[in-house]
Amino acid sequence: MEKKPKLRILLCAPRGFCAGVVRAIDAVEEALKIYGAPVYVRHEIVHNKYVVEGLKAKGAIFVEELDEIPDTTKPVIFSAHGVPKSIPEVAEKRQIFAIDATCPLVTKVHREAEFHHQRGRQVLLVGHAGHPEVVGTLGQLPKGSIFLVQTPEDIENFQPADEANLAYVTQTTLSIDDTRSMVECLTKRFPKIIGPLREDICYATTNRQEAVKRIAASVDAMIVVGSSNSSNSQRLKEVAERSGCKLARLVLRADDVEWELFADISSLGITAGASAPEVLVEEIMAAFAERFELVVETVSTADESVFFPLPRELRPENAV
């Protein structure tokens, strides 16, 4: 029997599910237990195809808009990314029982934007156009009072009503370094702009990026376990590349690994986006174990103990 080549695996920690994702998935599962199938979910509860398919199998029905939901007594759950204010308003008009599974850290950004608006400030949102979290944050304020900036050019071209009356917030899943450079551009162009008391990039995004930075330059390749539509997973791949890793790939399942690219490596870093379950990390490692003799080492940069309780409607004392 041919001897397998050795492969040193550096496993990033923390990786995978964050507290907001756990809360959102638990919300769907708890609603299914309490109210029975089907339970409706507006948009993917988190950006991971494996998770979404698993919840579909249990009786969750995913829709993009509320008008796809028939008149029903069954609940509809809003995803972890948050929704514009108009969505709960529509749900209330249609007497739809809505449960908000927005990540509390996204809700914090919504409240910051509202706070600044109430004080008459124009709000700039640093983020990626079209991402559900950005759509939700933009939808917290009236049109014309919050503006998306994606690049330094957007900042240069922005013409405020009053340069002394500006504030900014950011998407929670951005690259730490990209956001830092955008904030520097904002404060350089608008010295009086007001920022968050605590930065908006979420703890899980920060921790996962720091772990990738720690090992990226010391491995031949890096695999980020996650979905292509997951912002935080895409940022992990970018961070790996910027930090010196010559080959970085975003992979959902073992079947998606381009094995020819990894044939001659002797070291591999593995991490997972905040919406990727550990079972997929294990699946991919098992696939590598079929081809290599693995030597696994965990590289930890932070301990995470954050916990968010279920939405109020699903807690035992309030559930019907």
Residues written for the chain: 320
**Residue 133 annotated in active site:** yes
**Dist CA 62 CA 83 (whole Å):** 15
| C-beta pairs of 68-72 under 8 Å, 24+ apart in sequence | 69/40, 69/96, 72/40, 72/96
User: CA 170 to CA 110: how far, in whole Å?
Assistant: 10
- Tell which residue, 293, 289, 222, has the closest CA to residue 251: 222
Return the percent helix, strand and coil in the chain, to nearest 5.
40, 20, 40
Both structure tokens of 9: 């695996």
Closest CA to 158 of 259, 168, 141: 168
Taking each helix axis from N to C end, the angle separating 203-215 and 231-242, rounded to the nearest 10 degrees, works out to 30
Task: List the catalytic residue out of 30, 44, 112, 133.
Answer: 133
Distance separating alpha carbons of residues 103 and 4, to the nearest angstrom: 44
Closest to 40 (Cα-Cα) out of 27, 51, 49: 27
Rounded Cα gap, residues 185 and 229, in angstroms: 27
Question: In the beta sheet, which residues pair with residue 223?
Answer: 249, 270
As annotated, the active-site residues are: 133
